[in-house]
Chains A and B, each alone.
Chain A
Amino acid sequence: MSDTPIIELRDVQKSFGTLKVLDGVSFAVARGQVAVLIGRSGSGKSTALRCIDRLERIDAGEITVCGHRLADPKLELRALRQDVGIVFQSYNLFPHLTVEQNVTLAPMAVKRVPRAEARATARDVLARVGLADKAAAYPEQLSGGQQQRAAIARSLAMQPKVMLFDEVTSALDPELTAEVLRVLEQLAASGMTMVLVTHEMGFARRIADLLVFMHGGKVREMGPAGILSDPQTIELRQFVSHELAHAGQ
C-alpha cells in the first residue's frame, strides 16, 4: 500500500438546484484499499461516488483520481474512464449483446485489443465471477445476481486501476446478494482499489479498510471498520442501531 492516495476528494461541494448534496466532502483512498461509503438514503454517498467517475460535475473543491485532476478543463475523460471501472445498481448490461460481447466490446473498441485476446480476457474475468458457462447467454436470460456479476466482469475486462460499486446488491434478494458479495470480497483480496456504496453493514464491516459515514452531505465519521463499534456522533450511533434493528428482523 503506497502512501500517496489514488483517489482524493478535497472539500467537494455539489448542489442539484437549491439542494446541497455534497457539503465539503473530503476523504482519500490509498492504492489497494477498500473504502465503503455508508449513510442513509439521501446522505450524498452515491453522488460522491458518481463524482469520482465524473458522472456528476462538482461545483467546488478538488477530486484527483489516478493522477487525473477532475476539475482540469483539459481532463481526458476517456483516459479517466479507462482507469476507473463502475458498476451500477441496475447492472446496465447491453441487452442486445451476449455476456461475452458485453465483456469484449470496450477492450476491442477502446483499447484495440485483437478479438482472440479480448475473448481470452473475457473467459478469464467471467471465470473470476463464476460465469464461465454463461458467455453465450443474453443478459435477460440471467438472474439478477448473474447479471450483476457479468457487469463486474465487463468492468474488470478493461483492467481498471480503481473500481466503484454503487449499491450493487440493492436490487437483489439475500441469496443473490451473497453471490455478488463473494465476488467483491475476492476482488478486494486480489488487491483491487475499491470504493463501495452499500447498505450491507455486515459486509461493510468485513471488507472495509476505510469506512466513511456520510450524513446530510457531510462526512461525519471516518476510519477503520471499528468506528461502527464506537460511534462518536449521535448520527452514526442512530444509524448503526437502526441498521442492527433492521438486520435483526
Chain B
Amino acid sequence: MTLVPLGPNQIAFLLHGAVWTVVLSLIACLGGGALGMVVALCRVAPLRAVRAAAAVYIQAVQGTPPLVAMFLLYFGLPGLGLNVPSLLAASLALIVNVSAFLGEIWRGCIESVPRPQWEAAECLALSRTQRMLRVILPQAVRIAIPPTVGFSVQVIKNTSLASVVGFVELARAGQIVNNSVFQPFLIYLLIAAIYFAMCFPLSWLNRVLERRTGGWRRRPAALTAAIPVVSA
C-alpha cells in the first residue's frame, strides 16, 4: 500500500471540486451580502410594515435548514415543471440563507452606532438617506467587519451541503474519489485539510481585524495641549 493512494487524475478531480467550493462560496457571500444589505436596511426602515416583513423573512429563513431549501429547489421544483440545475439550486438556497444571517448581523451593527450620531446628523439637516450613507453606514462597516468575516467562514463550510443535490464541490468530489479508492479516513482527512486551508486565512484575517476595531484610529489619541482661542 502506498502512502497516498491517489493518482494525478484523482488529485486533479479533488482540486477541481475545491475550485467549485470557492466559486459557490463567492456566489453565496456576494449574492447573500447584496441581498443581506437590503434585508438589514429594511430592518431599520422607518415604515413598520417593511421592518415587520424583513423580520418575518429572517425568522423564516433562520428557522429552516439550508439543506431542506436545497431539496425543495432541486427536487421540489421539477415536480412543478421547473427544472433547476444543481448549481442554481445550491446557489439560491445559500444566498437566501446568507442574506438572512448577514441581514440580522448588519442590523445589529447599524443599530450599535450610538444614537447621538443619528441625532447630530439629523440636526445638521441631512436627509435620512444622507444620514445613513454618510454618517451611520461608514461607522457600522467598522463594527461589521469581524462578525462578517467570521460568518463567511461558516458559509464556506456550508457549501458542502450542495453535495446532496449532486453538485460536485469539494465534499462530493471526496466522496466520488473515495468510492474508487476506498480509503475514507485518508480521503476525508485530506478534504478536511483543504477546507481548513480555505477557512484559515479568513479566521486569521478576522483575528487581525478584531484586534484593530475602530480602523479610523490612525494613532493613539494625541491629547494636544489646549491652544488659545484665536480672536475673531
Measured CB to CB, the residues of A under 8 A from B are: 53, 55, 78-79, 81-82, 84-86, 88, 90, 92-96, 105-106, 109-110, 127-130, 132-133, 138, 140-143, 145-146, 149, 154-155, 158, 175-176, 179, 182-183, 186, 190
14 A-B pairs (CB sep. < 8 Å): A55-B119, A84-B123, A85-B123, A94-B121, A94-B135, A95-B216, A96-B142, A96-B216, A110-B125, A128-B230, A143-B226, A158-B125, A176-B226, A186-B232
The number of inter-chain residue pairs (CB within 8 angstroms) is 99
Describe B's contact surface by its main secondary structure.
loop
Q: By the criterion CB–CB under 8 Å, are A158 and B226 in contact?
A: no
Supposing A90-B116, A95-B139 touch, asked if A182 and B134 sit within 8 A by C-beta, the answer is no
With A and B bound together, what is the CA distance between A93 and B219 in angstroms?
18
Q: By the criterion CB–CB under 8 Å, are A110 and B124 in contact?
A: yes
Contact of B116 among A88, A109, A110, A149 (CB under 8 A): A88
Supposing A95-B216, A140-B217 touch, asked if A186 and B124 sit within 8 A by C-beta, the answer is no
Cβ distance A67 to chain B, nearest Cβ, rounded Å: 16
Other than the given A55-B119, A110-B126, A182-B229, 6 more pairs (CB < 8 A) read A88-B116, A94-B120, A109-B127, A130-B228, A140-B221, A146-B227
| B134, B221, B229, B230: most-surrounded residue (chain A CB, <10 A) | B229
With A and B bound together, what is the CA distance between A138 and B124 in angstroms?
19
Q: By the criterion CB–CB under 8 Å, are A110 and B119 in contact?
A: no
Q: B130 in the interface, Cβ–Cβ < 8 Å?
A: yes
Cβ distance B231 to chain A, nearest Cβ, rounded Å: 7
Supposing A78-B127, A92-B119, A109-B134 touch, asked if A141 and B222 sit within 8 A by C-beta, the answer is yes
- Name B129's closest neighbour in chain A (CB-CB): A109
